Amino acid sequence: MRAAGAAGSNEVCSLFANRCKSRFQTTTHTRQRRTVVNIAQLVRCGKPPSARLRLSGVVSRLLHSASGPVCEVLENADEGNISRGGRRQERTALHRCGYRIDCLLEGYWRLAQGRGLGQGVGMMQWKIGGREMVFGKDPVVMGILNLTPDSFSDGGMFLDPNRAVDRALEMVSQGAGIIDIGGESTRPSAPHISLEEERRRVLPVLERLIGEVQVPLSIDTQKPELAREALSTGVEIVNDVGAARFDPSMLEVVGEFGSGYVCMHMKGTPGTMQHQPTYFNVVAEIDEFFAKAISSYLSVGLASEQVVLDVGIGFGKTVLHNLELIHHVETFKKHGRPIVLGVSRKSFIGKVLGIESAAERLAGSLACACWGLHVGAAVFRVHDVLATSQALAMWQAIKQTVWV
């Protein structure tokens, strides 16, 4: 879907105006006045500045691109007198009509800008090796394949290469758009393993999957040497929980291959990150971390289109930190890069819901994923690919139903 220029915006505004006139042409003039004033109020208050700007832009275009009672009322309504008083029935009708028109404004404006309804994800490209992924309509599910004996949720399940390959193929068939393969656990207090051991775990599986799957493969590692070997086999993404803080040569490898790069925030190391993590303002501090990280990546020659951002849920955060970050995912969209959300089966869900077993945290994981989609996350790193794909598809179907 293209981003709309002036012609596209006028077309959308005209469509909206015609639908408004069709809907309200049989109502009284007073009701029209009350309804449209409510639109003006919704534009000016109760929404983030970016949303107010989008809505006010639509209203402004309506005034100049369409005619009829709706537009006349927009120009002439006396907000101060109309917004006060009125019978209860009229105020109820005002709320319903205003809410529905607000949905139309949001919906058609998103369509005009080439945005998925309800996603809040603009058209962005992620360059990964020789191809690119385009975000803007559908979210991408990144399936987790842990080749470790000690991962918090599925440790030991896929140590056998045959089982690992079968699981990767299964996740692709269930809707995974990326397979993320890791050989070293990054759970809290996880021990460090050698390069040789990590290589032994992942390379045989990578070599078999290259050519077997059409979706991009991602290597989950902090070791530049392993990243280089994986990219040489055909892997297209490096998922680095260390964000190149521990070994900046990772950026040289990513730049050399032109691969995609997941920049994740982590406070400390996997061994220390959950030792009483503290922040003055967790959202602001991670926002600043991303700004500095992107700047440093650009300074060494990476293109911003190679980078996506992951707030690092569970990596040096308390339960409240995690909830606050998920709630404010939209904040990080200012950097113009897709947002990765990795919440699947994590311990904060268990603490909120009182569930000890990681395998029983699916419902909480799906709730977080749906909220993440609502506020603008684009990539969802999960264990339960089928359930997540279905939940996100259902959420989209609901959000894309624009009342007319």
Domain range enclosing 196: 124-399
**Which of 379, 358, 390 has its CA nearest to residue 155?**
358
Taking 3-state DSSP, the helix, strand and coil percentages for the chain, each rounded to the nearest 5, stand at 50, 10, 35
Judgement on whether residues 244 and 370 belong to the same structural domain of the protein: yes
Token pair 């990219």 in the structure block, residue: 231
Residue 321 makes CB contacts below 8 A (sequence gap 6+) with: 277, 279, 282
State the alpha helices, DSSP H only, in 210-299.
224-233, 249-257, 282-299
pLDDT of residue 350: 94
Q: Which long-range contacts (CB under 8 A, 24 or more apart) does 150-156 make?
A: 150/185, 150/187, 150/190, 150/191, 151/182, 151/185, 151/187, 152/185, 152/187, 152/188, 152/345, 152/346, 152/347, 152/358, 153/344, 153/345, 153/358, 153/359, 153/383, 154/383, 155/185
pLDDT of residue 144: 95
In a domain, 107, yes or no: yes
- Strand duo 124-128 + 131-135: pairing: antiparallel
pLDDT of residue 309: 97
In a domain, 118, yes or no: no
Catalytically active residues, by annotation: 346, 381
Judgement on whether residues 223 and 371 belong to the same structural domain of the protein: yes
Judgement on whether residues 130 and 46 belong to the same structural domain of the protein: no
Residue 139 makes CB contacts below 8 A (sequence gap 6+) with: 119, 121, 373, 377, 378, 379, 380, 392, 396
Is residue 18 within 8 Å of residue 68, measured between CB atoms?
no
In a domain, 31, yes or no: yes
Query: 398: number of CA atoms within 13 Å, CB side?
Result: 9
What CATH number corresponds to the domain at position 157? 3.20.20.20
Q: What is the pLDDT of residues 167-206, one digit of tens each?
A: 999 999 999 999 999 988 776 666 778 999 999 999 999 9
User: Where is the domain boundary, 87, 112, 137?
Assistant: 112
Tell me how far apart the alpha carbons of residues 290 and 337 are, in angstroms, rounded to a whole number: 10
Judgement on whether residues 103 and 249 belong to the same structural domain of the protein: no
In a domain, 211, yes or no: yes
Judgement on whether residues 128 and 241 belong to the same structural domain of the protein: yes
Helix (H) or strand (E) holding 142: strand 140-146
Phi-psi region of 243 (alpha: psi -120 to 50; beta: other; left: phi over 0): left
In a domain, 240, yes or no: yes
pLDDT of residue 138: 87
Return the structure tokens found at 41. 């109020």
Judgement on whether residues 79 and 163 belong to the same structural domain of the protein: no
User: Where is the domain boundary, 55, 80, 112?
Assistant: 112
Return the structure tokens found at 112. 């005009």
Radius of gyration for the alpha carbons in the chain, expressed in angstroms and rounded: 24
**Which of 131, 111, 320 has its CA nearest to residue 215?**
131
- Strand duo 307-310 + 339-341: pairing: parallel
User: Where is the domain boundary, 53, 79, 112?
Assistant: 112
Return the structure tokens found at 73. 């009322």
Judgement on whether residues 34 and 63 belong to the same structural domain of the protein: yes
**Which residues in the chain show pLDDT less than 50?**
1-121, 152, 404
How many domains does the chain fold into? 2
In a domain, 78, yes or no: yes
Tell me how far apart the alpha carbons of residues 142 and 340 are, in angstroms, rounded to a whole number: 9
Judgement on whether residues 13 and 128 belong to the same structural domain of the protein: no
| Cα dihedral 333, 335, 338, 341 in deg (nearest 10) | -60
Judgement on whether residues 243 and 345 belong to the same structural domain of the protein: yes
Judgement on whether residues 327 and 355 belong to the same structural domain of the protein: yes
Judgement on whether residues 198 and 82 belong to the same structural domain of the protein: no
Judgement on whether residues 90 and 138 belong to the same structural domain of the protein: no
In a domain, 117, yes or no: no
pLDDT of residue 273: 63
Q: What is the pLDDT of residues 219-272, one digit of tens each?
A: 999 999 999 999 999 999 999 988 988 889 999 999 999 999 999 998 866 666
In a domain, 238, yes or no: yes
